[in-house]
Structure 1
Amino acid sequence: MIPVVFLGPSLARADAEAVLPADYRPPVRQGDVYRAVRDGARLIGIVDGCFHDVPSVWHKEILFALHEGAAVMGAASMGALRAAELHAFGMEGVGAVFEAFRDGRLTDDDEVAVQHGPAELGYPALSEALVNIRATLAAAERAGVIDGALRAELESLGKALFYPERSWGALLAGARARALPAEPLSTLEAWLPANRVNQKRSDALALLEALRHRTAQPARPAPRFRFEPTEIWQRFVEQQNRPG
């Protein structure tokens, strides 16, 4: 069973392919999961997804996939969001980002959002995800680089930045503009290059490992919920099946 994996800026495709042979596709958007199931996919992994200028992957199409007996797993970014929203229906989540959304410790979609470059360049991330900033600041606190009060202030500053503008440079500049303690900020700046935590990448790799273990197993049985083919769903299916 060859998995279909929707991947973008969270993990370089070459790194993904070293872990798991799969049908790698661009960040998921509305209709992609439905079409994958229609074309025979029975093991689907969602890491990254589109949201800004195109419709995001629809919850209903994931429910359709589950109803058809496909296993759908998510992590790191859009996959973590949808898995947290749909885990009660059978979508499986992997990793720390999924767990934080599932447990209500994180609630806003912008926690995972990044600005990224084009497909031809491999979707390079051009901003820093807030979940990565939070994970890195937590590691810095554990290492004694900063204290809890400064960590909380830096998290608030990061949250206040618009997601395409989030970067460590912007965050540190904002902290200095607010006259936060200079010495620990300098220590943090020197500590960052070798110690940054890329939580999204780690979770994406964990998802690929989970998918690798699932490839030898049969697809999950259809969950015990009633899938309602509503009028809106029927219109969606007609649109997805329209030639061209």
Structure 2
Amino acid sequence: MTLCIFTGPTLPADEGARHIDAVFLPPAAQGDVYRAALDKPVAIGLIDGYFDRVPSVSHKEILWAMAQGIHVLGAASMGALRAAELSLFGMEGVGAIYEGYARGELDADDEVAVAHAPAEGGYRPLSEALVNLRATLGAAERAGVIPAATRERLEALARGLFYPDRCYPILLRRAEEEGVQRAQTAALREFVREGRIDQKRADAMALLEALRGRFAGGVEPKQVRYHFEPTDAWELIRERADRRAVRPNTRETEVNR
């Protein structure tokens, strides 16, 4: 029984491998879920996926994979987005970020977007996801580090930053330029040292737990209620994917969500 998991900046593959026996693959681009499904895994876990300069994982290939009897679960990043968009068709979502998208509390793709190092750099994140900034600012407010008005102001400033620029140093410098008291930004800098919340990582770990709990033993193939309809666009995705291989997760700046 095989599990396939697409991950990268959210959770390093070597760390994930310490928690679950699975085939770890790099962040998914368009066609990668289709190619992974050709090997007939019992389930595919989608965490990270490319966008912007690289075509993203298509909804159609996820629908195709599930129609082949493969369970597909998503969380944390691209996986949370696709799970919320395809939940009515049977894709399963895990974690707080998925729930936020499913309830409509999150509605922007760039909530989970980050810039990250190339494979040779272990996909190390080079910016902070807005969902993580939001969670950390909320924790700082609850801890009495900043008042609610400052938290709201910082969230608005973070939303206004281009996603590769989202990080605490830039955010706090911008906050001081906008008139936030330096005593508050200094207190927040100190809080972040130990109190930073990585919601994306937490949700990725929850996905590993769900996969391990659900698919440790025998499981029935995925059953779907839709008829998969091949289209010209789908055939083009397949043709392009068949020309290249899904590479095992190894250790380029890329953008990802």
Class of the TM-score when normalised by the shorter of the 2 chains:
over 0.9
Shift of 1:237: 2.5
Q: Higher RCO, 1 or 2 (CA under 8 Å, sep at least 6)?
A: 2
- Structure 2 match to 1:95: 95
Letter in 2 for 1:232: A
Shift of 1:147: 1.4
- Structure 1 match to 2:249: none
Shift of 1:231: 2.5
Q: Distance in 2 between matches of 1:243 and 1:60?
A: 18
Q: Distance in 2 between matches of 1:235 and 1:67?
A: 18
Q: Deviations over 1:186-236 (max 9, x none)?
A: 211111101000001101111011111122241443211121112222333
Moved more, 31-40 or 125-134: 31-40
SS of corresponding position for 2:74: strand
Residue pair 2:112, 2:129 contacting (<8 A) in 1 also? yes
- Structure 2 match to 1:231: 232
- Structure 1 match to 2:114: 114
Q: Distance in 1 between matches of 2:34 and 2:178?
A: 48
- Structure 2 match to 1:203: 203
SS of corresponding position for 1:33: helix
Identity %: 51
- Structure 1 match to 2:6: 6
Residue pair 1:74, 1:92 contacting (<8 A) in 2 also? yes
Q: Distance in 2 between matches of 1:207 and 1:239?
A: 29
Letter in 2 for 1:145: V
Normalised by the length of structure 1, the TM-score is 0.96
TM-align CA RMSD: 1.4
Q: Distance in 1 between matches of 2:221 and 2:145?
A: 45
Letter in 2 for 1:218: V
Q: Distance in 2 between matches of 1:58 and 1:221?
A: 19
- Structure 1 match to 2:222: 221
Unmatched 5+ residue regions in structure 2?
246-257
Residue pair 1:71, 1:219 contacting (<8 A) in 2 also? no
SS of corresponding position for 1:115: strand
Letter in 2 for 1:97: I
Shift of 1:17: 1.0
Q: Distance in 2 between matches of 1:240 and 1:176?
A: 48
Letter in 2 for 1:80: A
- Structure 2 match to 1:61: 61
Letter in 1 for 2:226: F
Equivalent pairs counted in the alignment come to 244
Shift of 1:183: 2.0
Shift of 1:153: 0.4
SS of corresponding position for 1:44: strand
- Structure 2 match to 1:153: 153
Shift of 1:146: 1.1
Residue pair 1:43, 1:219 contacting (<8 A) in 2 also? no
Decide whether aligned partners of structure 1 residues 163 and 65 sit closer, same or farther in structure 2, where only a CA change above 3 A counts.
same
Residue pair 2:40, 2:70 contacting (<8 A) in 1 also? no
- Structure 1 match to 2:19: 19
Q: Distance in 1 between matches of 2:180 and 2:2?
A: 51
Residue pair 1:70, 1:219 contacting (<8 A) in 2 also? no
